[in-house]
A and B are shown apart, each in its own frame.
Chain A
């Protein structure tokens, strides 16, 4: 099925560990982004990409890295996990058809 696929769905990390959240889309969308969702704060933009090889920071980029080597994939790397990064992470892509963003189903991350 066409859409945005995120893995893993759940993850528990210890403080200081690193990991990569995977995001892939098969709709040939140029624009992709990562958001985190925290209670009472809505969704906040972490990083985004307007195409392969191009990335930029969003509202809350500290502690996260991204890369965009292909149109399809946009992984999010946590360099040294902290409890403040406990959140639900959503990847989203945007096409040109006026249909709005397509979101993945999310990754629930707990840092202990």
Chain B
């Protein structure tokens, strides 16, 4: 079946550090890939997405590139801020199927 594997957390970084959160996937078809973010006490919000190979999704300084050859969709940000502290989820859906398959989430804490 379809699955998403994320790097284990928690991740703690200093402000202005470079961030990478790894995400790899297994899918039976051609998935769309997503990163969702969950701030404390809130529901998940879509951060960025990519729907086909080599697409780059970007938002709020975050980027992720859909790499079909490595089945990866790693999340990156060049300079993190304290306000980026949250839990980040990688997810996929296959072939127009609305159902999302989520990774386990990575808790990110940024210290000043």
Q: Chain A: interface residue count, which band?
A: 20 to 34
In the assembled complex, A61 has its CB within 8 A of some CB on chain B: no
A residues in contact with B89, CB < 8 Å:
42-43
The reply to whether B43 and A103 form a contact with Cβ atoms under 8 Å apart is yes
Interface string of B15-55 (1 = CB under 8 A from A): 00000000000000000001010000111111001000000
A residues in contact with B45, CB < 8 Å:
103
**How far apart are the CA atoms of A37 and B99 in the complex, in Å?**
15
**How far apart are the CA atoms of A44 and B101 in the complex, in Å?**
8
Q: Chain B: interface residue count, which band?
A: 10 to 19
The reply to whether B34 and A58 form a contact with Cβ atoms under 8 Å apart is no
B residues in contact with A104, CB < 8 Å:
43
Known: A48-B99, A99-B46. 4 other contacts (CB 8 A): A33-B98, A35-B102, A100-B49, A104-B43
In the assembled complex, A87 has its CB within 8 A of some CB on chain B: no
Question: How many A-B residue pairs lie within 8 Å, measured between CB atoms?
Answer: 47
A-B pairs, 3 with minimum CB distance: A103-B43, A100-B46, A42-B102
Say how far A11's CB is from chain B's closest CB, in angstroms: 16
**How far apart are the CA atoms of A101 and B38 in the complex, in Å?**
13
B residues in contact with A45, CB < 8 Å:
99-100
Say how far A96's CB is from chain B's closest CB, in angstroms: 11
**How far apart are the CA atoms of A90 and B99 in the complex, in Å?**
14
The reply to whether B100 and A101 form a contact with Cβ atoms under 8 Å apart is yes
